[in-house]
Amino acid sequence: MTFLSTAAAQTTENPFFQNYNTPHQTVPFHLIKNEHYLPAFQEGIRQHQQEVEAIVNNPQPPTFKNTIEALEYSGMLLEKVSGPFFNLLSAETNDELQDIAQQVSPLLTEHSNSVFLNDKLFERVKAVYEKREKLKLNPEQKRLLEKTYESFVNNGANLSEADKEIFRQLTKELNLLTLQYGQNVLKETNQYNLLIKDKNQLAGLPEDVLTTLAENAEKAGKQGWLLDLKVTHYVPVMKYADNRDLRRELYLAYSSRCMKGGEYDNREIIGKIVNTRLKIAQLLGHGTYADYVLTRRMAEKTENVYHLLDQLLDAYRPQALKEHEDIQHFADENNAYFKVQAWDWAYYSEKLKSEKFAVSDELLRPYFQLENVKKGVFGLAERLYGIHFVKNPKIPVYHPEVEAYDVTDRNGKFLAVLYTDFHPRDGKRAGAWMSEFKGQWKEGKKDNRPQIVIVMNFTRPTDAKPALLTFDEVTTFLHEFGHSLHGMLSDCTYPSLSGTNVYRDFVELPSQIMENWASQKEFLDQFAFHYQTGEKIPVELIQKIKDAENFNVGYSCLRQLGFGYLDMAWHTLSSPFEGDVVDFEKQAVAKTQILPYVENTAISPTFNHIFSGGYAAGYYSYKWAEVLDADAFSVFEKNGIFDQATAQSFMENILKKGGTEHPMILYKRFRGQEPSIDALLRRNGIISTNN
- HEC letters along 130-197: HCHHHCCCCHHHHHHHHHHHHHHHHCCCCCCHHHHHHHHHHHHHHHHHHHHHHHHHHHHHHHCCEEEC
Q: Are 231 and 430 in contact (CB under 8 A)?
A: yes
Q: How far is CA 113 from the centre of its chain?
A: 26
Nearest Cα residue to 562 out of 531, 594, 534: 594
Q: By three-state DSSP, how is residue 609 classified?
A: helix
Listed as own residue / partner, the contacts of 96-102 with beta carbons closer than 8 Å and 24 or more positions apart are 96/34, 97/34, 97/37, 98/183, 100/34, 100/37, 100/38, 101/179, 101/183, 102/176, 102/179
Nearest Cα residue to 509 out of 679, 649, 630: 630
CA distances from 8 to 12, 34, 89, 650, 666 (A): 7, 18, 27, 49, 48
d(CA 257, CA 181) in angstroms, rounded, equals 12
User: Can 123 be counted among the known catalytic residues?
Assistant: no
Checking DSSP bridges between strand 433-438 and strand 441-443, what pairing results, if any? unpaired
d(CA 104, CA 91) in angstroms, rounded, equals 18
- Amino acid sitting at position 543: Q
Given 436, 473, 480, 626, which residue is catalytic? Answer: 480
Listed as own residue / partner, the contacts of 149-154 with beta carbons closer than 8 Å and 24 or more positions apart are 149/125, 150/295, 150/296, 151/116, 152/116, 152/122, 152/125, 152/126, 153/284, 154/284, 154/292, 154/295, 154/296
d(CA 669, CA 627) in angstroms, rounded, equals 17
602-639: b or e for each residue (b if 16 or more CB lie within 10 Å)? bbbbbbbbbbbbebbbbbbbbbbbbbbbbbbbbbbeee
Q: By three-state DSSP, how is residue 448 classified?
A: strand
Nearest Cα residue to 393 out of 422, 431, 419: 419
d(CA 354, CA 544) in angstroms, rounded, equals 10
Q: Are 359 and 541 in contact (CB under 8 A)?
A: yes
367 contacts: CB under 8 Å, gap ≥ 6 = 524, 528, 529, 530, 531, 537, 541
Residues identified as active-site? 480
